[in-house]
Amino acid sequence: MASGIVKRQARLADGRELIYFDDADTRLGPERRIDTRALEPRPGTAAMRLDVLTGEWISIAAARQNRVVLPPSDRDPLAPQTPLNPSEIPDRYDVAVFENRSPAFGPALPPLVTGAPPAPTGLADLAEFGLGRELTAVGRCEVVCFSPEPTGSLGTLGTSRARTVIEAWADRTAALAALPGIEQVFPFENRGEAIGVTLHHPHGQIYAYPYVTPRTARLLDAAERLGPGFLGDILDFERAGPRVVLAGAHWTAFVPFAARWPIELHLLPHRHVPDFAGTDEAERAELAELLPRLLRGVDALYGTPTPYIAAWHQAPVRVGRDALRLHLQLTSPRRGIDTLKYPAGSEAAMGAWIGDIPPETAAARIREALA
């Protein structure tokens, strides 16, 4: 842990892991109440099926249909528990991480109990084609609560709290990557009803996949074509051009040359770092200042909170670690005050994107909003 940030481990009533990360300047004491709820057993682990048309694995996770959707503020499942609100977190916290009750992957990990579809045995097994292939969707899905407050987002956090969130991402990246059967770890934040969030409480998630995701597979293909240093080359290209919106000693944010979304930002570290676990203290400290500022700039574009997906791409656990660099890809469908871009026929069906706003124009607008 970084200097002053404290990690405290606990369990929820049904056995799920719960981890508290206390700010360096926390006002909380060391003790936490235990979870005394009477909970039903967790749903079984989902299965995943191979789409032979694309080579992609699709998790069929029916238990996710039972998720709470936009509950009233007095039934916030991510707020600290009260006598009237039996939420997921039994006590006050700064940052809290816990296993999702109805995950898309997990909670089973290899070896599996008899009678379940087989677990993947590695990347070679996952690459085999065949009609009707089905495997257990082993893995782990975790919820990262950025604050006990019911409203806000990562961009509204102060520097100390943002630093704690980054420490949680780094800790969980290392821990999840070490679990059996995990091939990639993905921290992300969905923000806004237009994106499809089911809870307004400021939070993100971390998925630990049993395979290398399709997006990352395309990045690995790019590394084969362009060389293992291609993300560094892209960073150098963008830093010399007109699309940089924010830069520090260790990180640079820019609108990419071929942006497809009305708002799209990439944020890269200046040195090669495969994942959050590989970042050093100086990089984490600067990110805690730059990231909330960048997100506040996105909100300032139109004066109201902007829906977005903040996706942290990390290198897989076993392949591509010398080629793929940690980076943020932030995308938003917002192309006006009350106007959204919907991926429709060309984008959704054919994967052929049409950009609505020139990237240079978008970068100039974001720089103005940041100022």
Q: Where do the domains of the chain lie?
A: 6-207, 216-370
pTM above 0.75?
A: yes
Q: What percentage of residues in the chain have a pLDDT greater than 90?
A: 89
pLDDT at position 221 over 80:
yes
Which one-letter amino acid corresponds to residue 1?
Answer: M
Give the number of other Cβ atoms within 10 Å of residue 339's Cβ: 11
pLDDT band at 369 (very low <50, low <70, confident <90, very high): very high
pLDDT in tens, 50-92: 999 999 999 999 888 777 777 887 899 999 999 999 999 999 9
pLDDT band at 93 (very low <50, low <70, confident <90, very high): very high
Q: Identify the pLDDT of residue 277.
A: 98
Of the residues 200, 201, 203, 250, which is catalytic?
A: 203
pLDDT at position 2 over 80:
no
Q: Identify the pLDDT of residue 309.
A: 96
pLDDT in tens, 190-213: 999 888 888 889 999 999 999 999
Q: Identify the pLDDT of residue 134.
A: 97
Query: Mean per-residue pLDDT for 132-146?
Result: 97
Q: Does domain 216-370 bear CATH number 3.30.428.10? A: yes
Q: Identify the pLDDT of residue 126.
A: 96
Active site residue 203: yes
- Domain 6-207, CATH among 3.50.50.60, 3.30.465.10, 3.40.50.970, 3.30.428.10: 3.30.428.10
pLDDT band at 292 (very low <50, low <70, confident <90, very high): very high
Q: Identify the pLDDT of residue 72.
A: 85
pLDDT band at 179 (very low <50, low <70, confident <90, very high): very high
